[in-house]
Amino acid sequence: MNPRDLLAELIAIDSVNPDLVPGGNGETAIADHCTDWFRHNNFEVHRLEQRRGRPSLVAVRRGTGGGKSLMLNGHIDTVGTSGYDGDPFAPEIKDGRMFGRGAFDMKSGVAAMMVAATKATEHPLRGDVIVACVADEEHGSFGTEEVLTRFTADAAIVTEPSHLEVTLAHKGFVWFDVEIEGKAAHGSRPELGVDAIAKAGHFLVALEQLGQDLTTRHHLLGTGTVHASLISGGEEASTYPPSCRITLERRTIPGETPDVVENELRKILDHLTATVPDFRATLTRGLARDPFEADPDAEIVRTLIAGLGEPPVIRAEPFWTDCALLDRAGIPCLLFGVDGAGAHAATEYVDLASLDRLTDVLTRTITGFCG
């Protein structure tokens, strides 16, 4: 029942997300391992696998009745290992840190919540304790979406790394494709061609200006942001490019919806269509994820803070997490996890003292909330 031992076992299992890295191992092996662990510790285990080879699992310890239920949520997939310094699947301890892919993001949080759920329920609680080990958070988060079709709770904690600081908000995002239309012609016939790449330049300048004009601020997150992520166009050196595609990302703060963001971009494109000769473009919305903001007075927030035993550091994150999906499903939640560094980097580690601390805080929080 040591989270350090369990973390080492989890790191040693390749669970690279195949939607990020074609041919990645996925979550099957690590889900199998967690299933065996939970069953050994007398949890009721449910395997969810709408997408074959991409399982999530939900382990439940039922309460005696009359108490509140709590879901602990963590993802079991990781980003890729290309360029990792050393063996990413050989956990190594040095100077109070454990190294390996997923050590920080976020197999440490998964190990802590598994052990904490077991320790907290050694004596029966009134409420149910639900541990969701989910697939695909690093790409599309279909794992938590699938879990939420079958399970709910009175509150939740997502154990993404937060440096042992209480995270009560994070940004959302929306992806868009902008297709600028040109007209193919030989490079020697400018009167026949329309240069889609040159026309795209007008849009890129306007996009940069939009980023500078985003002034609505959130007290923890600051302003939203926008950037061009990908650009492609053209066929050969002597041909006017008939099209140019730009993929962009708009990071959002609470109060900014996908519709609001789409209207911003459509206004830019409408203005360019009206003022730039031969400018034509279409806008297509892609994946959208809501921003998240917790109620600081929610019972789960107050219970976890009470379990810290010291004044909390309150923070927000610029990246997106599954907290937003839980919140949208009507489950009050917050994010709280380990200290360390190297998420998505060539070297990744967790501070082991913070892993122990996280496990203790989660154990007290489960007992306080569900007891």
Q: What angle do CA 10, 14, 17 make, to 5 degrees?
A: 110
Categorize the per-residue pLDDT at 127 as very low, low, confident or very high, splitting at 50, 70 and 90.
Answer: very high
Q: What is the CATH number of the domain that holds 339?
A: 3.40.630.10
Residues 17 and 131 in one domain: yes
Residues 263 and 284 in one domain: yes
Which of 289, 304, 334 lies at the terminal end of a domain, its last residue?
289
Categorize the per-residue pLDDT at 1 as very low, low, confident or very high, splitting at 50, 70 and 90.
Answer: confident
144-202: pLDDT as tens digits: 999 999 999 999 999 999 999 999 999 999 999 999 999 999 999 999 999 999 999 99
CB atoms within 10 A of CB 144: 26
Helix axes 107-120, 352-370, angle to 10 degrees: 40
Residues 34 and 79 in one domain: yes
Q: What angle do CA 85, 359, 11 make, to 5 degrees?
A: 25
Report the mean per-residue pLDDT for the chain.
97
Residues 176 and 278 in one domain: yes
Residues 178, 206: Cα–Cα separation, whole Å: 13
71-121: pLDDT as tens digits: 999 999 999 999 999 999 999 999 999 999 999 999 999 999 999 999 999
Structure tokens at 284: 């297509």
Section 245-253 average pLDDT = 98
Residues 283 and 271 in one domain: yes
Residues 333 and 246 in one domain: no
Residues 267 and 278 in one domain: yes
Which of 269, 289, 309 lies at the terminal end of a domain, its last residue?
289
Residues 225 and 112 in one domain: no
CB atoms within 10 A of CB 219: 10
From residue 61, alpha-carbon distances to 44, 98, 153, 292 in Å are: 6, 29, 13, 28
For residue 191, what pLDDT is reported?
A: 95
Q: What is the CATH number of the domain that holds 249?
A: 3.30.70.360
How many domains does one find in the chain? 2
CB atoms within 10 A of CB 44: 13
- The yes-or-no verdict on residue 12 having pLDDT over 90 is yes
Residues 257 and 363 in one domain: no
Residues 265 and 308 in one domain: no
CB atoms within 10 A of CB 247: 15
Residues 21 and 92 in one domain: yes
Categorize the per-residue pLDDT at 266 as very low, low, confident or very high, splitting at 50, 70 and 90.
Answer: very high
For residue 286, what pLDDT is reported?
A: 96
Which of 265, 289, 313 lies at the terminal end of a domain, its last residue?
289
Domain range for 185 is: 172-289
What is the Rg, in whole angstroms, of the alpha carbon atoms belonging to the chain? 24
For residue 15, what pLDDT is reported?
A: 98
Residues facing residue 57 across a β-bridge: 47, 133
Residues 153 and 67 in one domain: yes
- What pTM, to 2 d.p., does this model score? 0.91
